Every structure is written in structure tokens, then in C-alpha cells.
Structure 1
């Protein structure tokens, strides 16, 4: 349903743009920085302001080249659907001191947006070394390359995000947003650089996308509803994750997650759902992971309701997030660890409606063939099971 809606919206936009001549606001006036690279910050803000006020199919156009760009907020509401087309490589300031907020390029409060092309280079290497969030709970939130806040009816395609200082893309408080042919490129040791993070949003599609990064390729926070991830290639990274959930008060339920036809290469996780122990009450339901190819992946299939990184939690207290109606089907390939399937649910609120079907995961390590572990769950098992489902029951 989500993909059909996207195709319909795209056809409508193409039809609309073909009948009405766009009013183009091109970035033309630059200032030159000390390094000799033109800076387009003020020119972009001026062009966006004019485009947002236009009623005649407005387009903001950044021509080819390499430009520097300071943090900007491209804000609505706008009077018409805006097209944002980039042919350039845009460079963020490498110094954290140049940022006042946690966003580099922010789209805010917009209904109707098409974003096409461009490379957004966060120049994050210097910032990764300054990320102390593992030790410091009050650490500074670092800037993200692209933020979509309260954006509706948007298509973002053929965009590349490189070396973000923190998450590459966040989609928060949004409705009907599609990211297609999106590319993320950062080294596996980049810290907290989730590829695409979604939260408190309805109807988000991630299609035919390639993500190489140092954290989750796609992560879903609380309030993610009707999310489709299809045709994703992930790795290096931490896989495709729902959560972590249950850390904060008043988290919204996660529901309607469909992950299909994806390939995960050499990641530290495959597909996983994670909740904190000693958590707040929460709900995660109607989540389906199907037709996934795993290539040398650590923890290919994982539900972890005792997620406790860096031992900064009360691991002995069970999670209160209720997980239900979850399926793992037609997942195949190779595992980099002996436990290829692990379903570790809460002792306090066991998982319900878990389905495991047609699994074929091979491990060729020195300690024997692949196995699986289950705790606090009675899954529905069908089809091929390699390894045998719930071969080990953990109390």
C-alpha cells in the first residue's frame, strides 16, 4: 500500500510539472571563503525564501561545482510544492564550533517537497573523535547532515550523504515521505552515524537505497508507523534496527514495519528489535522481515529485550515493552557468529505472535554449525529451519 501510494504521488507530480512551467530560483551569488571555495549559505537562504513564497511550481537549483554551506533551516509553510535540485557537492564546516544546533541542512514544516540529487559532505572525521557519548550521558548532540522535521508529502531521491558528524538523515514528525536511490557513505568506524533514522512519523518508504556507515543503516524510533524498507543494501553498519525502545517516558507505539528484499553485508547485526531493560511501558507490533540476504553478518536475526550497551542500565530488570505480531521469513545466507537466530524476550512481558519461517543461515566457524536461542517466547515455526529454530531455550 505504501509503495503504491508513492508511485501514484510520483506520477501526479510528474504530470503536474509537465503542464506548469517551473519558476527557477538558481544559486548564483557566492561569497568566497579563505580556502577559495565559494560559500552559498546566504544565497541559498535567499533563494529558498523566494521559492517558498512562489505559487508557480517553484524550483531551487544549485548548479554543479563544489561549495561550502553553513547550517541552514529551509522553513515553510510554503505556498506551493517546492522542488529542490542539487548538482553540486556541498561541504559542511568541519569544526563543531561553527554549529549552534544539531542540524546542518534542515527542512522544517513543509507540505510538498521534491528533493533531487547532490552530495552532502558533513566532513565528520574531526567530530567523530570528539563524540564521548559512550562515557558521558550528557554529551553534546552532534550535527546531522539532513533533517526533515514536520515534512509531509515529500520525495527525496538520488541524494548522497557522506561522512556526517552524527546521523546522516533524520525523519521526525513527518507524513508520507519516500527516500529512493538514496546513498550513504561513511567508514565502519564512524561513531553514531545512523544512515536513516525515523521517528514519530507515518508512511515512510526507504526504497532501493545503499548505506555504508558506522551505525544502524536504518533505525526506527518510537512512533514509527507504516514504514517500508525495500531493496536496501546495508554494510558496513549495524543492520536494520527497530529501537532501542523503552528508554523515555511517553514513547509512542511502533507499528506496521515491513522490511523486504534487502541485502546485508558484513554488518554487526542483520535485522533486530531492541528494547532497554528496566524500561518504560511501550508497544512494538506488526513488524515483518522477509526475503533478506545475509552475507557474513553477526547476529543475523535478533530480538534483544535486554539491550544494554556500555553497561549503562539496570540489566537485571525486565523490559516493559510489549513485542507482538513479528515475522522473520525467507532469511538466508551466512552468519559470522554461531548463534544465527536469537529471540530474547522479556521475562515480565513475553513476546507474542512471533513467526519464524524458511530460515537458512550457515555458519562455518571452528565451534560447529549455526544454532539458535530463544527465551520467553513460543514462536510459530514453519518451513525450512537451518539452524533448528529455538534449538536452545534460555531461561
Structure 2
């Protein structure tokens, strides 16, 4: 099992109208992983996998993700970051007009604890539809191996705008930032996420 596509050490890369599919229970089957690349645009694509539909790793700059339908899978992720020593920064990520269907996560930023210093900055998530997503908006800076040492990946200048739909869990927005380098300038504008009817019915019968 592994990534379907790994875009790395690239410049001016564009992919559109793709269909990427693997079983929902297949591990580590990211649809696309983008790292060490500049000016990448992925658009009008359907991704159904057992892991992240699209993951953005170290050294990715000026990445645009537009009109992606994702699900099943683990959503659209920045990270995981900070696993390796001296990772490159991530800067300039736009995720726009995307739909997430029954995914484990929606829009996720994830970093490892005990990391070397780096930055993830300048991200816009706009016009997103969530349909029965477990963790619609999540920042997790204690991803992976547990450690008492905090992540040193500095997350800043992140905007979530016009994010609508349903969540299958009671916590729709979960921001777990580093205690050492707290998140800075995180903005949520017009975010409307409601518990799905399926979850409400389950709790009513409990």
C-alpha cells in the first residue's frame, strides 16, 4: 500500500479531471501527496481512498486545490509535518470549492510533537461543503507518536471561510495547537456545521 501519486521536486505542475480510487479500509493510500514543490494546482478531481485524499508535506509552496470531491478517506491534510529533522516550510495553500463526503477528517493540519522548528503559514480554506464528516476542522499538533515535548512547527495565518455542512461528531472544530509555539492569526468566518441527523438519532436512542 502507498500513495497513488507523489508530486515532489516539481515546479508549475497541474493535474485536473482525475479519478483516484482505492478501498476505504486500505492503509496509507493517499490520493496525492505534494512536497518540495512550487506552484501546484489540482482541480476538478474525484478521490476515494483509505487515507488522505490530498496531503501537503514539507516544502510545498503556492498550492491550489480546487473543486475536489473527497470521500471516503481522511480528508484534505496539511501534514503531517515535523517528523524529520530540519523540514522545509509550507507556505501559500488554497483549498477552495471542495466537497468532503463521510470522511474521517475534513480540513486537517497535523504536526508531530518534538519536531524541529519550521513554519506552516498562509492557508485559505474557502467555500467547503462537509457531508457527515467526523472532524470537519482540526489542527492536531500532537499527531503520531506521543511525546512530552511540544511541536515546534509554527502554524499561522490560516483562514476558514464559508464552510458549511454536517458533522457526525459533537466537536466540529478542534484546534489543538502547540504549547511552545501557539497558533497565530487563525480566523473562522461564516462557518456553519451542524450535527447530522444520523448522529442525533443515535444519541436519542442511547
- Identify the match of residue 16 of structure 2 among 180, 193, 201: 180
Q: What is the CA-CA distance between 1:347 and the residue it aligns to?
A: 0.7
Residues 99-127 of structure 1 show CA distances to partners (whole Å, capped at 9, x for unaligned) of xxxxxxxxxxxxxxxxxxxxxxxxxxxxx
- Identify the match of residue 178 of structure 2 among 343, 346, 350: 346
- Identify the match of residue 313 of structure 1 among 146, 165, 177: 146
Residue 327 of structure 1 pairs with residue 159 of structure 2 = yes
TM-score after normalising by structure 1:
0.50
- Identify the match of residue 208 of structure 1 among 44, 47, 50: 44
- Identify the match of residue 194 of structure 2 among 352, 362, 366: 362
* SS of residue paired to 1:214: coil
Unaligned runs of 5+ in 1: 1-164, 369-395
Q: Report if aligned partners of 1:299, 1:335 keep a CA contact under 8 Å in 2.
A: yes
**Partner Cα distance (1:247, 1:280) in 2:** 8
Larger Rg belongs to: 1
2:137 is aligned to 301
1:247 is aligned to 83
1:289 is aligned to 125
Q: Report if aligned partners of 1:278, 1:313 keep a CA contact under 8 Å in 2.
A: no
Q: Report if aligned partners of 1:168, 1:193 keep a CA contact under 8 Å in 2.
A: yes
**Partner Cα distance (1:257, 1:306) in 2:** 21
2:72 is aligned to 236
1:39 is aligned to none
- Identify the match of residue 6 of structure 2 among 155, 170, 173: 170
**Partner Cα distance (1:273, 1:280) in 2:** 17
Q: Report if aligned partners of 2:85, 2:115 keep a CA contact under 8 Å in 1.
A: no
Unaligned runs of 5+ in 2: none
**Partner Cα distance (1:183, 1:357) in 2:** 31
1:36 is aligned to none
Q: What is the CA-CA distance between 1:178 and the residue it aligns to?
A: 0.3
Q: What is the CA-CA distance between 1:279 and the residue it aligns to?
A: 1.3
2:27 is aligned to 191
Give the root-mean-square deviation of aligned CA atoms. 1.1
1:272 is aligned to 108
Equivalent residue pairs, number: 200
TM-score after normalising by structure 2:
0.94
Q: What is the CA-CA distance between 1:313 and the residue it aligns to?
A: 3.5
Bigger RCO of structures 1 and 2 (CA < 8 A, at least 6 apart): 2
Alignment of 1:1-395 (within 5 A): 165-308=1-144, 312-314=145-147, 316-364=148-196, 365-366=199-200
Q: Write 1 or 2 for the structure with the bigger share of strand.
A: 2
**Partner Cα distance (2:7, 2:83) in 1:** 19
Residues 329-359 of structure 1 show CA distances to partners (whole Å, capped at 9, x for unaligned) of 1100000111001111111111111101101
Q: What is the CA-CA distance between 1:179 and the residue it aligns to?
A: 0.5
**Partner Cα distance (2:7, 2:80) in 1:** 16
Q: Report if aligned partners of 2:64, 2:95 keep a CA contact under 8 Å in 1.
A: yes
Q: Report if aligned partners of 1:300, 1:335 keep a CA contact under 8 Å in 2.
A: yes
